[in-house]
Amino acid sequence: GGRTGRDKMAAGGAADAQARFGHSVKGLLTEKVTSCGTDVIALTKQVLKGSRSAELLGQAARNMVMQEDAILHSEDSLRKMAIITTHLQYQ
Q: List, for residues 13-25, the tens digit of each pLDDT value.
A: 777 878 787 788 8
Domain co-membership, 45 together with 65:
no
Alpha-carbon span 25 to 30, nearest angstrom: 8
Query: Considering its fold, how many domains does the chain have in total?
Result: 2
Quick one: 6 and 44 in the same domain? yes
Give residue 5's pLDDT: 61
What pTM value is reported for the model? 0.45
Answer whether residue 78 shows pLDDT above 90: yes
Q: Tell me which residue range forms the domain holding 35.
A: 1-49
State whether 4 and 35 are in the same domain.
yes
Cα-atom radius of gyration of the chain, to the nearest Å? 39
Measure the CA–CA gap between 73 and 69, rounded to whole angstroms: 6
Q: Which of 48, 24, 44 minimizes the C-alpha distance to 36?
A: 44
56 shares its domain with 74: yes
How far apart, in whole angstroms, are the C-alpha atoms of residue 29 and residue 14?
A: 22
pLDDT per position as a tens digit, 32-70: 888 889 999 999 888 888 888 888 889 999 999 999 999
